[in-house]
Structure 1
Amino acid sequence: MSASLAGLKVGMEYLQRDNEAKTEELDLIKQQYQEQVTKVRNLEQQNQEQVTKVRNLEQQNQAQIEELISVKARTNNTENQVEVLKREREVKQVAFSASLLASGSGHIGPFNTQTPLVFRHVVANIGNAYNPNTGFFIAPVRGAYHFEFHLYGGGHASHGTGAVLVRNGNPIFIAYEHQASYSVNPSNGATLLLETGDVVFLRQWQNSWIYDSGNHHTTFSGHLLFTV
């Protein structure tokens, strides 16, 4: 074999080995690339799983928040119902009784016109609907109320003893007696349907006189029968 052919054979063998080495290197690179692709896909899958977990947690958290809001709303509703029941119970407990003079004794009047009476000696005022400074009873709730008033006066030739029950400025029932001697004791009562804020009081009848003392002869009383 000539030297040129031997050299050509050696060159070809070198090129073949180099090609095989490069092919192996390329296969290794492809394998490494495929491994990286697999890792990336695994990471993407793991990331997607984490995203799904986060969304699930967000949904669970939202559900818990909604449940807490619902529980709070139910709690507030229960508290409101309790408060309403408490107020209803309080306003259903309304009653008062008072006599005319806080101290001393004597006749009030006579006056030329009807004059409001203020019963200052309070023995009961449950619910504080009666005001001993004005003589007004103010209805705290709509309902049926019963009122009674008892008057006392000395007999007199010119002056009787009387008063009228008034609601919001309008007369309802009167109690009146007149005789020249001895004492008189007129009385009356009424059951009224009152709206919240209605005012009930007594007005002394014109040209009459009314007596009271430490024995509390002259009284005004009222109480709530039931709400409506």
Structure 2
Amino acid sequence: MKTLSVLALLLLACRVSADPPVDALEESDSLAKLRADLTALQSLTQGKQVAFTTSLVATGDGQTFGPFDADTPLVFKHVATNIGNAYSPDTGNFTAPLKGAYHFEMHIYGPPDHATAAYLVKNSEKIFAAYEYQTSEWASASNGGSLLLEAGDVVSVLLWKDATVFDDTENYTTFSGHLLFTM
């Protein structure tokens, strides 16, 4: 009888060890929840990737823009990157597809004896400027920053009145931006 009890205990021990311990079940449930959360996060961010990089001139020889009698929109024709298709090379406008924080940069380059200057504009409001004036050397100026945008807000670059910028296929004058995160 004693041998039978020991054998029964051994069989019971083997059966119990074949069943996953309670901790393993909880870990498996946690892993399943993490996988579900990851899938949900991936579906939330799908299609919400936004980034663009542009320069003024797409082809041909170098070109100087300006001076003009009024602030003038710059239309960046060479599109190196346009993930999310939020930048329009026809208008020079970036239109935010989602509410979120975006980062923008502009780099401008111009000939001597003229101001080289531009504004970054959000919905017709001048947000920040880049400016340089050189009498004997080519000028360059840059500026950038992060903006909170609502879906549909428009960001563009304006050439200052009486200022000039230059670009050629070396891409000296550029405008770029990307979505940092949605809100």
Normalised by the length of structure 2, the TM-score is 0.75
- Structure 1 runs, 4 residues or longer, greater than 2 Å off: 82-88
Equivalent of 1:206, from 130, 148, 161? 161
Deviations, residues 106-163 of structure 1 (Å, cap 9, x unaligned): 201100100000000000000000001000000000000000000001111xx21010
Q: Which residue of 2 aligns with 1:145?
A: 102
1:62-77 residue pairs with structure 2 within 5 A? none
Q: Which residue of 2 aligns with 1:160?
A: 115
CA distance in 1, matches of 2:51, 2:132: 27
Amino acid at match of 1:216: N
Structure 1 residue 178 and structure 2 residue 133: aligned? yes
Q: Which residue of 2 aligns with 1:217?
A: 172
Higher helix share: 1
Unaligned runs of 5+ in 1: 1-81
CA distance in 1, matches of 2:45, 2:95: 16
Structure 1 residue 98 and structure 2 residue 54: aligned? yes
Q: Which residue of 1 aligns with 2:4?
A: none
Equivalent of 2:142, from 177, 182, 187? 187
Q: Which residue of 2 aligns with 1:127?
A: 84
Q: Kindly state the Cα deviation for residue 88 of structure 1 after the two structures are TM-superposed.
A: 3.7
Number of equivalences:
144
CA distance in 2, matches of 1:200, 1:171: 10
CA distance in 2, matches of 1:117, 1:149: 11
Q: Kindly state the Cα deviation for residue 86 of structure 1 after the two structures are TM-superposed.
A: 3.8
CA distance in 2, matches of 1:168, 1:148: 17
CA distance in 2, matches of 1:100, 1:142: 27
Higher RCO, 1 vs 2 (CA within 8 Å, ≥6 residues apart): 2
Structure 1 residue 227 and structure 2 residue 182: aligned? yes
**What secondary structure does 2:177 align onto?**
strand
Structure 1 residue 169 and structure 2 residue 144: aligned? no
Q: Which residue of 2 aligns with 1:118?
A: 75
Normalised by the length of structure 1, the TM-score is 0.61
CA distance in 2, matches of 1:198, 1:84: 25
Which of 1 and 2 has greater Rg?
Answer: 1
Unaligned runs of 5+ in 2: 1-38
Q: Kindly state the Cα deviation for residue 89 of structure 1 after the two structures are TM-superposed.
A: 1.8
CA distance in 2, matches of 1:86, 1:202: 33
Identical pairs, percent: 52
CA distance in 1, matches of 2:122, 2:171: 24
